[in-house]
Homo-oligomer: A and B are copies of this chain.
Amino acid sequence: MHIQIVGLHAPHAPRLRALLGPGHEVEALQAFPEAGAIAADVVIANSVSDSEAARLRCRLLQVPGAGSEQIAMQSLPAGTTVCNVHGHEVPIAEFVLHAILEHSLRLWQYPQTLDADAWAQAYAQRAPHDEAHGKTVAILGFGHIGQEIARRARAFGMHVIAVTRSGRQAPALAEPLAHEFVAVSALDEVLPRAQVLVVCCPLDDSTRGLIGARQLALLPAQALLVNVARAEVVDEPALYEALRDGRLGRAVLDVWYQYPKKGQPPVAPSRWPLHALPNVRATPHISAITPALLERRYRFMADNIARLRQGEPLRNVIHTAR
């Protein structure tokens, strides 16, 4: 089997080699060649342009993450199967719960270094903080990530509202993970109750800009917004203005409106100075990046490669080009 890992994931080629047995050639490429056929049994890449897709000659295009919006599906040659991989729901749920607890605890209101004077003053004041317990969290999108957030939020005594396309829980789930399931068409009814709004739905035509100025205004005062999906689900200037004016309490943003591109000058993560507001925690798209995640994902991808080799059904097929 000939496997090419192209782009961001190229440095992980040794990890994949260690997981695959003999009889596999794993090739690491910084980028796709600029012309000519791209021939391998398996190509691992999270970004494939139209021109690159048209030149692919592989049986399996394995996306090394969950999101496939940078894959030009429509240009893939017939017969190419595209798979993605999950496992990121564990660290992302931890990131989101950390954001919720940080918002409640407000540790920044206490002295950063407890010298004698700061200690005396802080102990006399005993400034209160808040609790997550009893608060309502609305989870927009209830796939792998939303469900793992719900499991953890419930353990904290939070009231969990899942906002989904259908307004119903996926029938495969035995136990109800949310206290309420609401269709996205009734989002306006949910927002005024959501002290925390977590955005973790896919980006598509129905979700782009779904959270705009009107929706942000419906949230209660001092609400927390956490976005671990794609930035564009939340309208960029509306988010900036709501935070700047203090109508929205705080935002923890791990996903952005502008990304660095190779060979181009650096860009700010937002066209508005969103990332520099004091009530924004701006992280560089790292919520899922853990060694344990890579272990889980590469084990999954090695298993998919073994399935391809043995003619068994692939897992996580998200597209088959015709």
Is there contact, CB below 8 Å, between B260 and A128?
A: no
- Name the B residues within 8 Å of A276 (CB-CB): 113, 115
> Given A95-B105, A105-B95, A155-B154: A113 and B275 within 8 A (CB)?
yes
Contact digits for A125-142, partner B, Cβ 8 Å, 1 yes 0 no: 011111111100000000
A23 within 8 A of B: no
A300 within 8 A of B: no
A268–B122 Cα gap in the complex (Å)?
A: 12
- Name the B residues within 8 Å of A282 (CB-CB): 113-114
A118–B285 Cα gap in the complex (Å)?
A: 12
Is there contact, CB below 8 Å, between B90 and A290?
A: no
A8–B123 Cα gap in the complex (Å)?
A: 10
A120 within 8 A of B: yes
Q: Which of A158-178 contact B (CB under 8 A)?
A: none
Of A96-104, A190-198, A207-215, A303-311, the stretch lying at the interface with chain B is A96-104
For chain A, which range describes its interface: under 10, 10 to 19, 20 to 34, or 35 or more residues? 35 or more
A27 within 8 A of B: no
Measured CB to CB, the nearest residue on chain B to A267 is B116
A272 within 8 A of B: no
Q: Which of A252-281 contact B (CB under 8 A)?
A: 256, 259-260, 265-269, 275-276, 281
Is there contact, CB below 8 Å, between B119 and A269?
A: yes
Is there contact, CB below 8 Å, between A94 and B98?
A: no
Binding site for B on A (CB under 8 A): 8, 90-91, 94-95, 97-98, 101-102, 104-105, 107, 110-111, 113-120, 122-124, 126-134, 151-152, 154-157, 256, 259-260, 265-269, 275-276, 281-286, 289-294
Could you list some 16 contacts between A and B, CB below 8 A? A94-B132, A98-B98, A98-B102, A107-B281, A107-B283, A113-B275, A114-B275, A122-B284, A126-B284, A128-B289, A128-B291, A129-B289, A131-B292, A131-B293, A133-B292, A154-B155
